[in-house]
């Protein structure tokens, strides 16, 4: 019965059936199914959503919907989770760089990273280099994600990388960048370690770097 319920939760999330997914999650909790198992089923559903996005079956709108379902699911499960249930693939600092206030892509990547078990400190938008440096120093995170949709954000990314080097953090922190116009050339120009066109790439990079 438990296995059937968890499979149904995964399926409802993948099919973006918000009402069914949340009802099943609440029923699972009420029935005494461990919240950690329910969370894992939700995470597996998000992985499938990401896979569908990567192969072109789903688009940004579907990622947004799945993200909202996952957020509501997490709110139901959070009071029932024990320390350590959420797991932690590692800690990541993320934000949209100074001069850019676009956050849709950032929010999707942050959510997908969280659903994959990473602890993400989202600094928001228009974040200056010094704030990234401070967050990395305070959190001890070993991965930094920089988002920017506008081409002039590349200079802010470069300045942020330089600020990390000046603070003595560059050797221990891996940097990923993303955003509409970002590509391998931009990655090399700003001095980042990797780049991604979607959230699944960000997850793969984070897993590789934090393994």
| pLDDT per position as a tens digit, 55-106 | 999 998 998 899 899 989 989 998 888 766 666 679 999 999 999 998 888 9
Residue 130 has pLDDT above 70, yes or no: yes
pLDDT on residue 166: 98
Domain that holds residue 126: 91-210
Segment 131-160 shows an average pLDDT of 96
Give the number of other Cβ atoms within 10 Å of residue 71's Cβ: 12
**Is the same domain home to 115 and 21?**
no
Tell whether 140 is covered by a domain: yes
- What are the strands of the beta sheet with 143-147, ordered from one edge? 119-122, 91-96, 143-147, 174-178, 194-196
Under the banding of pLDDT at 50, 70 and 90, the label for residue 131 is very high
pLDDT on residue 89: 79
Give the number of other Cβ atoms within 10 Å of residue 77's Cβ: 21
**Is the same domain home to 76 and 133?**
no
**Is the same domain home to 72 and 152?**
no
Which domain CATH number covers 171?
3.40.50.280
Under the banding of pLDDT at 50, 70 and 90, the label for residue 111 is confident
Tell whether 86 is covered by a domain: no
pLDDT on residue 82: 77
Tell whether 39 is covered by a domain: yes
Cα separation, 81 vs 88, in Å, equals 14
pLDDT on residue 86: 64
Beta bridge partners of 178: 147, 196
Q: Is the C-alpha dihedral spanning 90, 7, 104, 182 positive or negative?
A: positive
pLDDT on residue 54: 83
pLDDT on residue 115: 85
**Is the same domain home to 36 and 134?**
no
With CA atoms as reference, report the closest residue to 199 among 10, 71, 66, 76: 66
Residue 8 has pLDDT above 90, yes or no: yes
pLDDT on residue 184: 96
How many domains does the structure of the chain reveal?
A: 2
Those residues whose C-beta lies under 8 Å from the C-beta of residue 34, and which sit 6 or more positions away, are none
């Amino acid at each position: 019965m438990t296995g059937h319920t968890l499979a149904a939760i995964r399926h409802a999330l993948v099919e973006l059936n918000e009402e069914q997914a949340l009802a099943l999650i609440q029923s699972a909790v009420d029935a005494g199914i461990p919240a950690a198992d329910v969370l894992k089923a939700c995470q597996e559903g998000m992985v499938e959503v990401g896979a569908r996005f990567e192969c072109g079956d789903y688009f940004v709108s579907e990622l947004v919907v799945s993200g909202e379902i996952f957020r509501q699911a997490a709110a139901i499960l959070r009071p029932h989770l024990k320390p350590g249930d959420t797991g932690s693939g590692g800690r990541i600092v993320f934000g949209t760089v100074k001069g850019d206030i676009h956050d849709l892509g950032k929010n999707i990547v942050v959510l997908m990273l969280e659903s994959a078990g990473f602890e993400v400190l989202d600094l928001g938008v228009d974040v200056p280099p010094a704030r990234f440096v401070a967050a990395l120093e305070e959190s001890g995170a070993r991965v930094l994600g920089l988002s920017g949709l506008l081409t002039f954000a590349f200079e802010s990314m470069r300045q942020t990388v330089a600020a990390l080097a000046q603070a003595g953090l560059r050797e221990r922190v891996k940097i990923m960048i993303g955003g509409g116009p970002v590509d391998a050339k931009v990655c090399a120009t700003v001095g980042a370690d990797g780049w991604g066109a979607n959230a699944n790439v960000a997850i793969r990079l984070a897993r590789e770097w934090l393994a």
